[in-house]
Amino acid sequence: MPLFSQVKGHGVVGLDTAETLATVTGLIVAPSPARITALRVKTKGPGTLVTWNHVHACGPDAVTIRSAEDVQTEDDTSIPADKLHDPLGRRVLTEAGEDLGPADDIEFDASTGHVQRLVLAGQDVDGERLLGTGGYAVVVASP
């Protein structure tokens, strides 16, 4: 299972042209079940997102999508796609208010996008405990 830090900075390649269309810069995570719903990307043209259902494969060297049309803007998708839904670097709090520290990384299933675990300094939190992400914190169920 890859860590997001291993994917960040990778190119997003269109299978129809074999050209690099974008670079992965961040991710959008949704709870219940915890999963990556989109990748934030930087392009030379319009578009800032690739929704997970458009990801063909997420490999060790690149993320592949079918074509440039799979790169979308936040207005093109119905998923919550703002930067508030990117948990990396945000503090992780239990529902009881215990501060576990910042989310340093995320381990995920490369084929489904399901979050396996949140990686924090000194401990890991099972992805199934993720309750939500916001501008201030990531909230997880108490153990």
The C-alpha atoms of residue 74 and residue 120 are separated, in whole angstroms, by 29
Q: CB-based contacts of 118: which residues, under 8 Å, 6+ apart?
A: 87, 92, 103, 105, 106, 124, 125, 127, 130, 138, 140
Tens digits of residue pLDDT in 32-72: 899 999 999 999 888 899 999 999 999 989 999 999 999 98
Tens digits of residue pLDDT in 97-128: 999 999 999 999 999 999 999 999 989 999 99
Question: Over 70: is that where the pLDDT of 1 sits?
Answer: yes
Among candidate residues 61, 66, 62, the one with its CA nearest the CA of residue 51: 66
Kindly tell me the sign of the dihedral angle through the C-alpha atoms of 108, 58, 9, 137: negative
81 confidence band (pLDDT: 50, 70, 90) = low
